[in-house]
Each structure stands twice: as structure tokens, then as C-alpha cells.
Amino acid sequence: MSAYLYPRLPRPAARQLLKVQEGLSLSELRSAARTSHPAAAPAPTGGRPAPDDVLEKVASSVRHACGEQWPAEASRAQGATLDRAVGRALIDNLQIIRPDAANEGVWSFLSLVLLPDIAVLRFPDRAESRLLGGPRNVFRRPWERRVVLGDLADRSGNNGQALGEDELVNIFERSRLARSHELARALAENILSVDVGNRSEYARELTKHVKRQLGAFNVDVLDPSAVRSLVAEAGSRVTAGP
Amino acid sequence: MSTITAYPYLTAPEEVWSPGPWFYSLGEGPRTHLAHDFINGWDYQAQLELACEVAIDVGALRSSVRISRGHDLDLIVLVDCPAFRERWVGFRAPLTDSGEQVISCGVSLPPASIAERISLERQVVLRGEHPAPPPLPSRKGSILLRDARSRSVAVEGDGGRFPVELVDLSAMGYPDALWMLDVDTSDAERAFLAAVRLYVNSSHDAKSDLLEAGTPRGRDLVSAMGWDVLRQLVVRSAISGLDVRPDQEEGTLGAVVWSLLHNRLGYDQLADIVAALETTAEDLESRFQSAAGLFT
């Protein structure tokens, strides 16, 4: 499968688009969506720029994934489901050269040029941090989570629920944890398997316990089963209480 | 919920090892001393090789942490790429039971496996369990010795490792502005290189003087820009309430702003800047000029 470089929208141009799109409705945003922008260009070296048909395929796959939600703006409760659908569509279709995905201009392009309608469908409050291409970007976040968790992102836990937004935030916004992908997956598996009253609270305490150990202890040298044991041990301490 | 207890354990003194300098090569290129905090010429299709030598007095190390022969220790190189949100062991070699050992470490980073900036840290770790009472190290993965500071290297970015881009500011309604600083202050843990962008106006007559800086005018422009960037970074971080602490990871926005605040301006917290703006702004502005060495 080919991998591509995506156009990068510089931050000043992204901010200008934010202002231009401020008052537009979802359908107006859909009409304004494009596969190019005068200020956006892919990195000059290092790979093949994504052709228009690839950009169109990305856009249509994401819109298709959000078809059931459209045109009703997502509520907070619907957000996690929508993120899972968007993450799946992006992993299957983006075919992005991995380091290119570390550039915020790429994600600004996706949320403000290629798919502004879906960006606002997911985040109707249009918060800047969701529409610009930083770590909390509407498309970057579910893509990164999917890269790390794979199918675990879809799996239902003991309580019948997939990982919720609060639980995912505990894993991914403590960046020292998430940078060890094995550890992030072990945490996700543990949270899904636990049988407690308040799973979000459990996830918060679990990630706190594990993070405390990382200073003097290198989890990256452990094999997957040892990582799972470490997380299980921390989980037992959390459920045992003070 | 439960409380957390962390048990300290013995670690080895720095005298037992001597970690050597880093070298790098790109593709088939020559092996070059990694003298700066950046690597020129890397792109997404480049294979990057990093190498160094580490001499260890294994007998002294084992004796200092009271881990006898037969218990496995490894020398590892940890590679961390915050932009990728990924950290992994890039090299691993077992230590002998005793004696002096010189290990050639090699880290291969295939094309498209890193972005923006990486950091490298050498560590000696316990490979297996070592049943022993505190304060002896016992858990698999215990770090017995590590680089005093990890080595942070930028692989993307231009110039003096400050992210500068040429854009046409006239298209944005600022034809006479020579530069624009964009700082994303939403996350102090974000890589500085990703959070800050300096845009130079490609349609401004003075841009060549600024970018080449070889003329007296160019040097003055660079000096003025340096002062403005320092001032904007600190003031905007202060006004936005950025969470800045001395223990933040090297290379993050928070660490850079804290260093400027503490080492260049002599303040301990950003709240002092906000207070100074309201009460002693003239003193603060003079400090900015002095810290930046404006026109000196």
C-alpha cells in the first residue's frame, strides 16, 4: 500500500479560516470543503503527495462513517462513538507517512479544508484546540488512539461499554504512559476487564499508580506479559483501597 | 482510593561507567560526531544510524548495587520521540559478570520511524527479578544507572533549530509586519518545536537582511526579533496561565519558558510576570531588553 504526504496548512492561514468559517452552518461548511487551499502544500521532500482522488476517498470514507450522526451535531455522550467511527475510517484510508502525521499543519488541513463539516459535527462548540492541528485535533486524536490501541478501541468491557472519553484521556493525556504503546494497551485491557462501580475513577487511579512507578523503573524493557502483570498489580492496589 | 508508596533502592555511582560521545550517519553518508542538538539532511526517506561507546566497570557496578554475578543486567539505549508519541528500546546488550567491558551501541532508525525530535538515554537496567530486601534493587526493569541528561536531537526544522517559516503576511492583512510569532499555549508538555512558529514576511523588503544577518542592519533586525520573541513568549505564556515547572521534560514548551523565566529574567513563576505587568512594567521591560541583549 502506498503512503502519502498530506498538504500542511500553516497556522496563520488556519486561524484565518477559523474566522471565515465562524458563522457557517454544517451544510455551508460541507459546500465549502475542498481538496486544496492556496496556502497549503505538502512537505517538499520525503515522499509522494496525496493525489486528489486519495483526498476525496478520505473525505468520503469519514463522511460515510459519520452518516448516521449527520446532520445532528454530536452530544458529549455521542462523541466517543463518533470518534471510534472516525478513527476506523482514517486508519483504513489515510495511508499517511507516519512522520507527516506529527505535523500539525496536516491535521489543520483535514479539519479546516477537507472536512470542516465533520469537524464541527463532532465539536459543535468549534473550540480552537479541536479545529487547529495540535494534539487535541478532532481527527488527530482518534487516529493516534487507533494507531496505539488498534481493535481494543472497539472492544466492549465487562460492563458492556467500550472505553469512554474520560478513560481514554487518562491513558493518552499522560503522555509518558501513552508513549509506551505496550503499556497503553495493557492499561486499556485492564480497564475494560475490571468489574468496579465507577470505571472512570478506577482508570484515573490506575494510571496515576502506574505513572508513579515510571521514574525509577523502565517499563519499556519488559516483555508484554510483564507489562500486563505490572498493570494488574497496580489495579489490585487500586481496588484494595487505602 | 488507595495511597501510593514508592520504595527507593540503591543505584550505582557515575564513576563506574564512562558513556562516550554520540556519532551519526545518514544512509551511506560518513560517520559524523553529533556535536550539535540537530541533524542536518534528514528526511522521511533517510535511514539514520546513531552510535556510541560505553565503558563500564561491571565489577564495581555490581558491587555498588550488590547484585552478584548470575543476575542479568543490560545496557540499553532508550529512544523517545514525543511527536510520534512513542518510546522504545533502540539498543540492548547484556553486561558480563565482572571486569571492564566496552560496548559499542548502535541505534538504527529506519525511514519514517521518527519525526521532529528524538531523545536518547543510556541506562543500565535489571533484566530479571532479583529477590532482595529493600533498599536493594529487586524488580525487573529497575534502573541502576542512567545518563545524567538524555541527549535531545532535532531532525526537522530550520536555522538555529527555531522553527522559522517564510509566509506572505500581506495576504493576511499585515503587509508591513516583518515577522509574526505564533505560540500555542494550550499545553506546556507539548514539544517547543511544535508549539511555536515564527513566520517571516516573504513580501517584506527587509526579509533578506533579517535572514542573512550579515549586514549591520541585518544584525540589528535579528537582535530586535530576538527581544520581541523572548518578550512575546514569556508574556503570552504568563497571560494564558501556562503551567510551567522546573521538572518539565526537556524540549517541551514548559521547559523552555521556565528556563527563560528563571535563567534569563530571574523570576520563579509566570505569575510574577503578570504582577509585574500591572505594577512595575517599566522594570520588566528593561529586564527583557537586558536579557535579550538588545542591539549589543
Could you say which of B43, B78, B142 has the minimum Cβ distance to residue A220? B78
Q: Is A182 inside a domain boundary?
A: yes
Shortest alpha-carbon distance between residue A154 and chain B (Å)? 21
A133-148: pLDDT as tens digits: 988 999 999 999 999 9
Has residue A3 been placed in a domain? no
Residue of B141, B190, B194 with shortest CB distance to A218? B141
pLDDT at A118: 98
Q: Is residue B139 less than 8 Å (CB to CB) from chain A?
A: yes
Q: Do A115 and A17 reside in the same domain of the chain?
A: yes
Question: Span A61-75, mean pLDDT?
Answer: 94
The answer to whether the beta carbons of residues A133 and A103 sit under 8 Å apart is: yes
Instruction: Check if B2 contacts A (Cβ < 8 Å).
Output: yes
pLDDT band for B5, please (50, 70, 90 cuts): very low
pLDDT of residue A61: 98
Q: Based on the domain organization, do A59 and A79 belong to the same domain? A: yes
Q: Does residue A220 form part of some domain? A: yes
Label residue A202 by pLDDT band (50, 70, 90). very high
For residues A85 and A182, membership in a common domain is answered with no
Is position A54 within any domain?
A: yes
Are A46 and A85 contained in the same domain? Answer: yes
Q: Is A64 among the domain residues?
A: yes
pLDDT in tens, A35-67: 998 778 787 666 788 999 999 999 999 999 999
CB contact under 8 A, A218 and B125: yes
Residue where a domain stops, chosen among A105, A123, A146? A146
Same domain, A21 and A115: yes
Higher pLDDT, B64 or B190: B64
Mean predicted confidence (pLDDT) in B149-168: 70
Taking only the tens place, the pLDDT of each residue in B48-82 is 999 999 999 999 999 988 888 777 899 999 999 98
Check whether residue A234 and residue A181 sit in a common domain: yes
- Which tens digit of pLDDT belongs to each residue from A7-34? 988 888 898 899 999 999 999 999 999 9
Is there a contact between A238 and B2 if contact means CB atoms under 8 Å apart? yes
Query: Would you list the DSSP string of chain B?
Result: -------------GGGEEE---EEEETTPPPEE--SSB-TT--TT--EEEEEEEEEEHHHHHHHHT--TTS-EEEEEEEEEGGGTEEEEEEEEE--SSSEEEEEEEEEE-TTS--SEEEEEEEEEE-S-----TTS--STTBEEEE-SS-EEEE-S--TTTS-EEEE-GGGGT-TT--EEEEE-TT-TTSBHHHHEEEEEETT-TTHHHHHH--SHHHHHHHHHHHHHHHHHHHHHHHHHT----TTSPTTBHHHHHHHIIIIIT--S-HHHHHHHHHH-HHHHHHHHHHHHTTT-
Q: Above 80 in pLDDT, residue B91?
A: yes
Chain B residue closest in CA terms to A218? B141
Residue A2 lies in a domain: no
Domain count, chain A: 2
Mark whether A214 and A182 lie in a shared domain: yes
* Residue of B74, B81, B142 with shortest CB distance to A216: B142
Task: Specify the higher pLDDT residue, B216 or B257.
Answer: B257
Residue A207 pLDDT: 94
What confidence score (pLDDT) does residue B8 get? Answer: 61
When mean pLDDT is compared across A38-47, A57-66, A164-173, A208-217, the lowest value belongs to: A38-47
> Which residues of A, range 188-207, sit inside 8 Å of B by Cβ?
201, 205
Q: How far apart are CA A59 and CA A118, in angstroms?
A: 9
* Per-residue confidence (pLDDT) for residue A1, from 0 to 100: 60
Q: Report A:204-223 residues touching B (Cβ under 8 A).
A: 205, 208-209, 212-213, 215-222
- Its pTM stands at 0.75
Chain B partners within 8 Å of A100 (Cβ): 44, 115
Whether residues A122 and A165 fall in one domain: no
Query: Which range of residues forms the domain containing residue A180?
Result: 155-240
Are A191 and A137 in a shared domain?
A: no
Q: Looking at beta carbons, which residues of chain A come within 8 Å of B156?
A: 99
- Across residues A198-226, what is the average pLDDT? 89
Q: Of A146, A178, A197, which marks where a domain is finished?
A: A146
The partner residue sitting opposite B112, judged by closest CB among A39, A99, A242, is A99
* Beta-carbon separation of B78 and A218 below 8 A: yes
Per-residue pLDDT, averaged over B260-273, amounts to 88
Q: What is the mean pLDDT of chain B?
A: 85
Chain B contact for A100, CB < 8 A? Answer: yes
Does residue A201 surpass a pLDDT of 90? yes
Residue A117 lies in a domain: yes
User: Which ipTM did the prediction report?
Assistant: 0.83
Indicate whether A49 and A101 sit together in one domain: yes
B160 has pLDDT over 70? no
Instruction: Tell me, yes or no, whether A140 and A159 share the same domain.
Output: no
Q: Which of A96, A122, A146 is the last residue of a domain?
A: A146
Residue A67 and residue A185 in one domain = no
CB of B180 less than 8 A from some CB of A? yes
* B129 contacts chain A (CB < 8 A): no
Does A204 fall in a domain?
yes
**Three-state secondary structure along chain A?**
CCCEECCECCHHHHHHHHHHHCCCCHHHHHHHCCCCCCCCECCCCCCEECCHHHHHHHHHHHHHHCCCCCCCCCCHHHHHHHHHHHHHHHHHHCCECHHHHHCHHHHHHHHHHHCHHHHHHHCCCCCHHHHCCCCCCCCHHHHHHHHHHHHHHCCCCCCCCCCCHHHHHHHHCCHHHHCCHHHHHHHHHHHHHCCCCCHHHHHHHHHHHHHHHCCCECHHHCCHHHHHHHHHHHHHHHHHCC
